[in-house]
């Protein structure tokens, strides 16, 4: 595949998502902003001062749902308003929600982590992997998560994949018809895992921040392809485009020292299509 860098000169890029009109939304977690790239390449800032937007999905009413410090929020890009969606789980305030994903029921899957503990250099408290069903019901799927990252489903919806960076890799949960999950098993032993996406053939594409690579795993857990990037780190990967064959890879500047503008987004045409992202129903 040939990767073209379509966004450059930024910090640490997360949450790349495209809508039905060809707009590309993404966050910059070094500068705490949410951006939108129009099909003509014009980039605008939708939200400033939102810490750690690691995930983004689209809601049925046209609003955007973002993760970050304090939980989930609605963003109305037309009015400019920002409203909370989820701030507490089991009565406890949320520190940070990172990557998020939706299912065909309009629910949101996400994971939390102890951002405050990490920034303070102390032992991090366990986070949770959860499902949020409309309008506000939270089901905890795993209450012992280290550092939650990418989330995705197999095409037949019998598997839930979840990257837990501190737990050393991508974990696979058997997903029942009632959406309950089994005990997780290690799918990919990959301590440097970050975001992920699952294609229409069941291949699992994983961003590896330390090696600045994207790996494609076959459904049996074997690595089939690997793509190396020159940027300091790779943080996220997603599919988009009218035929879902545009592969987007989000990269990062160094996290130490002043920003140098090395972060950006690459796009390539992929032989296999991704899966459509269902709309949230909140």
pLDDT in tens, 226-249: 999 999 999 999 999 999 999 999
- DSSP alpha helix (H) spans, the chain: 115-120
103-124 mean pLDDT: 92
Q: What is the pLDDT of residue 68?
A: 97
Grade residue 256 by pLDDT with cuts at 50, 70 and 90: low
Neighbours of 19 (CB within 10 A): 14
User: Which CATH architecture describes the domain 4-269?
Assistant: 6 Propeller (2.120)
Return phi, psi of residue 18, to 5°. Answer: -110, 145
pTM as predicted: 0.96
Q: What is the pLDDT of residue 62?
A: 97
Q: What is the residue-averaged pLDDT of the chain?
A: 96
Distances (CA, A) of 50 to 63, 68, 134, 214, 272: 16, 7, 24, 27, 34
Residues above pLDDT 70, as percent of the chain: 99
User: Helix, strand or coil for residue 118?
Assistant: helix
Backbone conformation region of residue 175, classed left if phi is above 0, alpha if psi is from -120 to 50, else beta: beta
- Residue 257 pLDDT greater than 70, yes or no: no
Say if residue 135 is preceded by a cis peptide, omega within 30 of 0: yes
- Residue 158 pLDDT greater than 90, yes or no: yes
Query: For residues 262 and 231, what is the distance between their CA atoms, to the nearest angstrom?
Result: 6
13-39 mean pLDDT: 97
Query: For residues 131 and 209, what is the distance between their CA atoms, to the nearest angstrom?
Result: 26
Q: What is the pLDDT of residue 261?
A: 83
- Residue 38 pLDDT greater than 80, yes or no: yes
- Residue 119 pLDDT greater than 90, yes or no: no
Backbone conformation region of residue 256, classed left if phi is above 0, alpha if psi is from -120 to 50, else beta: beta
25-39 mean pLDDT: 96
- Token representation of residue 18: 């495209």
User: Helix, strand or coil for residue 184?
Assistant: coil
């Amino acid at each position: 595949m040939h990767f073209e860098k379509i966004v450059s000169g930024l910090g640490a890029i997360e949450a790349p998502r495209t809508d039905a009109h060809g707009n590309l939304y993404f966050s910059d977690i070094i500068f705490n902003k949410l951006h939108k790239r129009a099909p003509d390449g014009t980039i605008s800032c939708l939200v400033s001062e939102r810490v750690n937007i690691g995930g983004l999905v689209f809601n049925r009413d046209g609003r955007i749902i973002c993760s970050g410090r304090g939980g989930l929020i609605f963003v109305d890009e037309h009015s400019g308003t920002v409203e909370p969606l989820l701030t507490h789980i089991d009565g406890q305030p949320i520190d940070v929600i990172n990557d998020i994903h939706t299912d065909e029921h309009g629910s949101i899957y996400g994971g939390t982590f102890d951002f405050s503990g990490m920034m303070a250099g102390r032992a991090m408290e366990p986070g949770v992997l959860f499902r949020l069903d409309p309008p506000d019901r939270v089901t905890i799927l795993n209450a012992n998560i280290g550092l939650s990252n990418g989330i995705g489903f197999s095409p037949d919806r019998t598997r839930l994949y979840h990257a837990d960076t501190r737990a050393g890799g991508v974990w696979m949960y058997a997903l029942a018809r009632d959406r309950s999950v089994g005990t997780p098993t290690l799918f990919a032993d990959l301590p440097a895992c970050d975001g992920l996406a699952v294609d229409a053939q069941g291949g699992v594409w994983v961003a590896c921040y330390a090696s600045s690579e994207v790996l494609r795993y076959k459904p049996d857990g074997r690595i089939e392809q690997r793509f190396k990037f020159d940027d300091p780190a790779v943080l996220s990967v997603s599919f988009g485009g009218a035929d879902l064959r545009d592969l987007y890879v989000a990269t990062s500047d160094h996290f130490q020292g002043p920003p140098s503008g090395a972060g950006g987004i690459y796009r390539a045409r992929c032989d296999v299509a991704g899966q459509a992202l269902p709309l949230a129903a909140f």
